[in-house]
Amino acid sequence: MSPFLLTRTLPEDATEAALRADVLHGLSHTPKTLPPKWFYDARGSELFDKITELPEYYPTRAEREILAARAPEIARATGARTLVELGSGSSEKTRHLLDALSGLHTYVPVDVSESALTQAGHALIAERPELGVHALIADFTGGLALPGTPGPRLVAFLGGTIGNLLPAERAAFLTSVRALLSPGDALLLGTDLVKDESVLVAAYDDAAGVTAEFDKNVLTVVNRELGADFDPEAFTHVALWDAEHEWIEMRLRSRTEQTVKIPALDLAVDFAAGEDLRTEISAKFREDGVRREVAAAGFDLTHWWTDRESRFALSLSVVR
């Protein structure tokens, strides 16, 4: 059986330190914000899995449709011997690529969750004994070093997750990915597309209220990890379309005037009635915009695929 290697590039206490820093910074400023990565404890991950199955939430189905149809074309275009997946989670969506990449030598899943990496890695090597799996416990937005594996390399960043980054953060991220790669390597990028506002808002504010529960879960995480006394029921989930920036914002709106105490940070946070705490942006894209952004980072976009309804896109860009 092929080896499963697990490398930690995050210090053991990095997650706690990052949470403390993000909460202190985000709740001490106006407008108040928290990064969306803190949704994803075990409960948050379970809720997101439910979201992907909701009728309103199309991105997962649309991306899966493209991968199923285009994986052989992606394999032919890249000839990848190493597949790197950023934010790999369960690695479920990548299986179409793993099946198509006949010459693949090593799969490098990258995630902050050791348990997710271990579970997915062992499942993969049981199914594919010829495949090497070198998992990295790492935050891909904070600088990343890849193991020495054979090229060409294909970096996959799927799910539209790049839309959670602000434009300057996207530019820095894409530049950092380019710095890891060599001529002949490629980037496979999943991007949700601009579409009718009603479709977009419904995808982030479903009728069953699952997304609302997911949004409020970030407060539960802060309560548990930092001893805060947020009352999730004192906030209302809101999803808004920002037409100027072409992104969805998820917010938690305070129902009343209230003060939240966070003992671990010696912090008291005042909320006015109706004040919003932004928990996520999810940018939506157009082909020309994606082409410009990857070009600025040193890539040439060579392939652009959408699902049948043109809701979501996968693009393949090669190192210039």
Q: Assess whether pLDDT exceeds 50 at residue 1.
A: no
Domain spans of the chain, in order of start? 1-226+286-320
% of the chain residues with pLDDT over 70: 99
Q: Left (φ > 0), alpha (ψ -120 to 50) or beta: where does 11 sit?
A: beta
CA 213/CA 248 separation, integer angstroms = 17
For the cut 70, the answer to whether the pLDDT of residue 276 exceeds it is yes
Q: CATH assignment of 1-226+286-320, given 3.60.10.10, 3.40.50.150, 3.40.50.2300, 1.10.3720.10?
A: 3.40.50.150
Q: Which residues touch 49 (CB under 8 Å, ≥6 apart)?
A: none
Q: Which residues of 60-97 are buried (b: 16+ CB within 10 A; e: fewer)?
A: bebbbbbbeebbeebbebbebbbbbbbbbbbbebbbbb
- The pTM of the full predicted model, rounded to 2 decimals, is 0.93
Q: Which residues have C-beta within 8 Å of that of residue 287, sequence separation ≥ 6?
A: 304, 313, 315
Residue-wise pLDDT tens digits, 118-138? 888 888 888 888 899 999 988
pLDDT of residue 54: 98
Tokens, residue 153? 């390399």
Q: Which two tokens stand for residue 161?
A: 């997750």
**What pLDDT does 2 receive?**
62
Q: What angle do CA 104, 110, 114 make, to 5 degrees?
A: 120
Which pair of structure tokens corresponds to residue 218? 């970030």
3-state secondary structure (DSSP) of residue 248? strand
Average pLDDT on 51-58 reads 97
Given strand 247-254, what is the order of strands in its sheet?
Answer: 32-33, 276-283, 247-254, 235-242
